[in-house]
Amino acid sequence: MAVGVLALQGSFKEHIVALKKLGVEAVEVRKPEQLNGLAGLIIPGGESTTMAKLAEEYKLIPALKEFANGGKPVWGTCAGLIFLADKAVGQKAGGQALLGGLDCTVHRNFFGSQLNSFEAELPAPAALTELGGSENFRAVFIRAPAIVEAGPDVDVLAAVELRSGEFGASSVKEKKVAQTEEKGTKVIVAVRQGNLLATAFHPELTSDSRWHSLFLKMIPKSGKADENQRVKEEAE
């Protein structure tokens, strides 16, 4: 089984290291045909407009869409999350190509600029604690986006609390917070929708491998097992 990492720009090398640590074959993807036969794909963090431009240049967009729409597990981290979203808002968000599929609206630089990058200890979702380890996980946010709207089929895995003033509460930001919070002042930073996983933070920059393990668990054991399951379900 091999897992691809989109290697146009950004933190793809760190994802490859993390996958290899878990004993998984990791493949750098730059061309459409390199997606053939892969069990899943990680779209790393970086700069989403640059990544989208390169993906267009390398004629990757239709193949990436087909891969994700075909039900193969795809995990977007940070810029990868933006790329997977159906809609992006915020600075310069209008013009960039998106793969879409994730029923979310993402604010590209929700937390501000590079200077507002931060780390936070967040409560781990059940999907993560099931894998053992701490009740919390360390989330590294670098010019991070946040999900400001999520559709009904989207499972929220993690949210981050905004303390007043912490992220420079401009009136625009206050408005965004007011739109996104249900209780308290939280914004969504990790979701799952079927075969799609998306995180606004960078697990590949920490030593906690549980997000990678969670993603690998989304990959069906083997094509054969899937087929067997389908036949079994049809017979029932």
Positions marked active-site: 78, 202, 204
Nearest CA among 127, 126, 124, 95 for reference residue 108: 95
Greatest alpha-carbon span in the chain: 59
State yes or no: 143 annotated in a binding site.
yes
> 121 by DSSP, 3-state: which?
strand
Interface with ligand GLN includes 47 (CB under 6 A)? yes
Token digits of residue 88: 């992006």
Judge whether 73 and 160 are in contact, CB under 8 Å. no
In the set 63, 64, 68, 79, which binds ligand GLN (CB under 6 A)? 79
* Direct distance between the N- and C-terminal alpha carbons of the chain, in angstroms, rounded to an integer: 30
Interface with ligand GLN includes 82 (CB under 6 A)? yes
**Count of CB atoms situated within 10 Å of the CB of 124:** 22
Specify the length of the chain in residues: 236
What is the C-alpha to C-alpha distance for residues 231 and 62, in angstroms, rounded to an integer? Answer: 30
Binding segment toward ligand GLN, per CB under 6 A, in 40-48, 157-165, 183-191, 217-225: 40-48
96 or 195: CB nearest ligand GLN: 96
State yes or no: 108 annotated in a binding site.
yes
76 or 125: CB nearest ligand GLN: 76
Binding segment toward ligand GLN, per CB under 6 A, in 54-62, 75-83, 161-169, 190-198: 75-83
Interface with ligand GLN includes 8 (CB under 6 A)? no
Binding mask 108-137 for ligand GLN (x = CB under 6 A): xx----------------------------
Please, what is the minimum distance in Å from the beta carbon of residue 198 to ligand GLN? 12
Q: What are phi and psi of 65, to 5 degrees?
A: -65, -45
Judge whether 45 and 77 are in contact, CB under 8 Å. yes
Interface with ligand GLN includes 143 (CB under 6 A)? yes
User: Phi/psi zone of residue 210: left (φ > 0), alpha (ψ -120 to 50 degrees), beta?
Assistant: alpha
Interface with ligand GLN includes 46 (CB under 6 A)? yes
Please, what is the minimum distance in Å from the beta carbon of residue 218 to ligand GLN? 21
5 or 78: CB nearest ligand GLN: 78
* Contact positions vs ligand GLN (CB under 6 A): 45-48, 78-79, 82, 108-109, 142-143, 145
